[in-house]
Amino acid sequence: MDTVMIAPSRNEEVEVLAKAKRRRFTLEYKRRILRKANRCRQPGELSALLRCEGLR
């Protein structure tokens, strides 16, 4: 099969998304998360912690 690519017309708006910036975490933040992670004992606790922190 042949693929046909159609260029957008001049009236269409094309949205260009900015490239995401790499996140940077302070040493204190990393240590705090590691302390919390080390206290996780039950199944699912670590995953919940990571979701709450936006790390997963």
- pLDDT tens-digit series, residues 27-56: 999 999 999 999 999 999 999 999 999 998
What residue ranges do the domains of the chain occupy? Answer: 25-56
pLDDT given at position 8 = 62
pLDDT given at position 37 = 97
- pLDDT tens-digit series, residues 11-28: 777 888 888 889 999 999
What letters, b where the CB count within 10 A reaches 16 and e where it falls short, cover 9-27? Answer: eeeeeeeeeeeeeeeeeee
pLDDT given at position 56 = 85
pLDDT given at position 18 = 84
Is pTM beyond 0.75? Reply is no
Residue 13 and residue 9: Cα distance in Å, rounded?
9
Beta carbons within 8 Å of 53's beta carbon, 6+ residues apart? 33
